[in-house]
C-alpha cells in the first residue's frame, strides 16, 4: 500500500465516523499513538525506536515531553 493510498483510507475512516478530515491525518495519528505509548509506559527509548528517530532529543521534541514529566518518571524509577 502506498503512502497516498493509506492517507485516502484514513480520510475515509475519519469521515465515516463523522470527524473533519482536515483535523485528522496519518501524521496526527502517528503522533497520538506515540504519545499514548509514552504516557502508558514512560519508555522514551521505545518510542524513539518506534518512530525511527536517531536522536533521543528529536523524540523529546516531537512528543513535547515536559521537564516535569521527566522528573515524575525519574522519581517513580527505583534503583
For the chain, the domain total comes to: 1
Mean pLDDT of 40-50: 88
Is pLDDT of 52 > 90? yes
The pLDDT > 90 percentage for the chain reads 9
DSSP 52: T
Residues 54-76: tens digit of each pLDDT: 988 888 888 887 767 766 766 77
Domain carrying residue 39: 3-76
Q: Is the distance from CB of 36 to CB of 46 less than 8 angstroms? A: no
Amino acid at each position: 500500500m502506498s503512502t497516498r493510498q493509506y492517507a485516502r483510507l484514513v480520510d475515509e475512516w475519519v469521515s465515516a465516523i463523522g470527524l473533519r478530515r482536515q483535523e485528522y491525518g496519518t501524521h496526527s495519528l502517528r503522533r497520538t499513538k506515540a504519545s499514548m505509548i509514552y504516557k502508558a509506559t514512560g519508555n522514551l527509548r521505545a518510542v524513539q525506536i518506534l518512530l525511527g528517530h536517531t536522536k533521543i532529543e528529536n523524540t523529546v521534541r516531537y512528543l513535547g515531553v515536559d521537564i516535569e514529566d521527566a522528573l515524575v518518571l525519574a522519581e517513580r524509577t527505583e534503583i
